[in-house]
Amino acid sequence: MRFVALEKLINLKDGYRRRIKMDQLDVLVVQEDGRLAIIQSQCPHQQYPLTNAQIVNHTIVCPVHGYRFDLSTGATYESTCAALTVWQPIYEGNEVGILLAD
C-alpha cells in the first residue's frame, strides 16, 4: 500500500471541497461539521459530478436525481442506486491522503 497525499491539513475547514484527479483516481475531499470525507467524485447512478452537491447532516445529495449518500460509509438511502466508494482519511505529517494498493 502506498500513501497518496491529497491536501495539506492547514487548508481544511468546514465547507471545504476539492475534486482531485490523478491517474485512475478521481475523488472528492469534503469537510463539513469538522468531519472529513474522501469519496468518489461522481454519483454512481449516472456519473454526475458531486462537487456542488448539497451536504446536510453528513449526507451528500446528488444535484441531478436527489440520491442521498452517507459520507462516512457511502451507503445510499435509495435502493435504486449503488453506494459511493469511500476512502478512510490517513493523516501523515501535515497532510491528509489515502492508501492505495501498489
Please state whether the predicted TM-score (pTM) of the whole model is above 0.75. Answer: yes
Q: Is 33 left (phi over 0), alpha (psi -120 to 50) or beta?
A: left
C-beta of residue 83 within 8 angstroms of C-beta of residue 62: no
The domains of the chain, with CATH numbers, are 2-100 (2.102.10.10)
pLDDT at 10: 97
Q: Do 18 and 27 form a contact (C-beta atoms < 8 A)? A: no
* Chain position carrying cell 435502493: 79
What pLDDT does residue 73 have? 96
CB atoms within 10 A of CB 101: 5
DSSP 8-class letter at 58:
T
At 71, which amino acid appears? L
62-96: per-residue pLDDT in tens?
999 999 999 999 999 988 889 999 999 999 999 99
